[in-house]
């Protein structure tokens, strides 16, 4: 599988459309916008973070964080997912002098975590686990897409169609047909990408149909 940067997609489309580099920044803007708008919805990227806990057993989520896919601990080649525990204290604990203190593990008998969007943090209870073995798998919205952003090859056609649609819409001289045609091509590309992301493979669909037929 050959990945390609947005720079490569933009310059490639300019070459195919026989347009000068004068349009490079405009095309790059539309390409970045496409990745930001569709990245999480259609082709969300899953990243891995080995967090470092602060003094109160919490850590800040990354800037491109959207939601927790899985959180837990790693020992060797084995990943153990933890459950999210809504009984964990949501506010910051302090002692009588107003100093921050971490929740006592004596109050909990299992490893657990809680995502706190109001704090932009994940609170962790490490009752039985070495905190250096923690791992967070999270979905990102690719909001920091730029010229060096690398995309999956299945996304290239969609990005190109989005660039062209944005370009057509921005032209002073354009026809309704041109706009509708470019928009329909972009929508078709979105449906193709969604289809490729569908976890139901052709073989699985046939297997389901066969099992249904055998029950009759």
Instruction: Please check whether residues 80 and 103 belong to one and the same domain.
Output: yes
Say if residue 78's pLDDT is above 90.
no
Last residue of a domain, one of 93, 109, 140: 140
Instruction: Please check whether residues 49 and 114 belong to one and the same domain.
Output: yes
Instruction: Please check whether residues 65 and 136 belong to one and the same domain.
Output: yes
Instruction: Please check whether residues 52 and 116 belong to one and the same domain.
Output: yes
Last residue of a domain, one of 120, 140, 160: 140
Say if residue 97's pLDDT is above 90.
no
Last residue of a domain, one of 140, 170, 203: 140
Which pLDDT does position 99 carry in this prediction?
A: 60
Instruction: Quick: pLDDT tens for 143-187.
Output: 666 777 777 778 889 999 999 999 999 998 889 999 999 999 999
Instruction: Quick: pLDDT tens for 38-72.
Output: 765 555 566 788 999 888 888 999 988 888 888 99
Of the segments 93-102, 128-137, 160-169, which one has the largest average pLDDT value?
160-169
Instruction: Please check whether residues 49 and 39 belong to one and the same domain.
Output: no
| Lowest mean pLDDT across 111-115, 145-149, 156-160, 209-213 | 209-213
Alpha-carbon distance of 135 to 138, in angstroms, equals 10
Count Cα neighbours of 201 within 13 Å in the Cβ-side half-sphere: 3
* Apex 124 CA angle, 119 and 128, nearest 5: 175
- Confidence grade of residue 75 (pLDDT, cut at 50, 70, 90): confident
Domain count, the chain: 2
More confident residue, 151 or 73: 73
Which pLDDT does position 41 carry in this prediction?
A: 57
Instruction: Please check whether residues 168 and 130 belong to one and the same domain.
Output: no
Residue 63 CB neighbours (<10 A): 9
| Domain region containing 71 | 45-140
Instruction: Please check whether residues 161 and 199 belong to one and the same domain.
Output: yes
Listed as own residue / partner, the contacts of 115-122 with beta carbons closer than 8 Å and 24 or more positions apart are 115/61, 115/67, 115/68, 115/84, 116/58, 116/90, 118/90, 119/58, 119/92, 120/60, 120/61, 121/58, 121/59, 121/60, 121/61, 122/51, 122/58, 122/59, 122/61, 122/68, 122/71
What's the whole-number average pLDDT of the chain?
79
> What is the DSSP code (8-state) at residue 197?
H
Instruction: Please check whether residues 131 and 155 belong to one and the same domain.
Output: no
Instruction: Please check whether residues 54 and 115 belong to one and the same domain.
Output: yes
């Amino acid at each position: 599988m050959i990945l390609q940067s947005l720079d490569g997609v933009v310059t490639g489309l300019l070459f195919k459309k026989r347009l000068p580099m004068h349009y490079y920044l405009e095309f790059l803007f539309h390409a970045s916008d496409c990745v930001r708008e569709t990245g999480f919805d259609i082709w969300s990227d899953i990243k891995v973070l080995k967090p470092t806990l602060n003094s109160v057993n919490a850590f800040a989520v990354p800037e491109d964080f959207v939601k927790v896919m899985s959180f837990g601990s790693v020992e060797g080649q084995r990943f153990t997912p933890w459950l999210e525990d809504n009984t964990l204290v949501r506010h910051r604990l302090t002692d009588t002098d107003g100093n921050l203190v971490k929740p006592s593990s004596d109050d909990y008998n299992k490893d657990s975590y809680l995502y706190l969007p109001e704090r932009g943090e994940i609170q962790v209870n490490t009752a039985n686990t070495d905190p250096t073995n923690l791992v967070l798998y999270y979905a990102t919205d690719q909001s920091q897409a730029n010229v060096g952003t690398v995309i999956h090859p299945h996304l290239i056609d969609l990005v190109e169609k989005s660039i062209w649609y944005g370009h057509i819409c921005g032209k002073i001289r354009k026809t309704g047909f041109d706009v509708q045609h470019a928009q329909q091509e972009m929508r078709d590309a979105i449906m193709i990408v969604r289809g490729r992301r569908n976890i139901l493979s052709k073989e699985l669909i046939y297997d389901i149909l066969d099992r249904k037929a055998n029950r009759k």
